[in-house]
Amino acid sequence: MQTLGTENDFFSAVYEVVRLIPTGRVSTYGAIARYLGTARSSRMVGWAMNNSHDCFPPVPAHRVVNRNGMLSGKAHFGSSGEMQRLLEAEGVKVENDKVLEFQQRFWDPASELAL
């Protein structure tokens, strides 16, 4: 599935939103799911990320963390600390698998894109 952009699949919708996350910012599964109208499908967002490897353009999944700001999906990246390394490379400080100043770094599509 190449998801050419005209896809209306749940996965594709997630991919688009995640790609909209600015560099140096992070978002949560719940926020994305809620923006898509499926607030209670936060788990599906993560699942979509799992398939994100088949999606193009690549999805910056490292910018998506759980509501607690913890890198819940870091284990799914190639190497240990890969996710954290990417975040730090974008200016997002991470410590103990948790985003520092998460609330400050948090990017909510429902708020940022709603204007």
Partner DNA sequence: ACTTTGACTATAA
Partner DNA sequence: GTTATAGCCAAAG
What is the Cα–Cα distance from 31 to 37, expressed in whole angstroms?
10
Please say which residue, 3 or 52, places its beta carbon nearer to DNA: 52
- Residue 46 sits in the site that holds DNA (CB under 7 A): yes
Instruction: Return the residues of window 60-79 that contact DNA according to CB under 7 A.
Output: 61-62, 64, 66-68, 72-73, 75-77
Least distance from DNA to the Cβ atom of residue 2, Å:
15
Which 3-state string (H, E, C) describes 25-42? Answer: CEEEHHHHHHHHCCHHHH
- Residue 57 sits in the site that holds DNA (CB under 7 A): no
Give how many residues touch DNA by CB under 7 A: 32
- Residue 42 sits in the site that holds DNA (CB under 7 A): yes
What is the Cα–Cα distance from 55 to 25, expressed in whole angstroms?
21
List, in sequence order, every residue forming a beta bridge with 95; answer none if it has no partner: 98
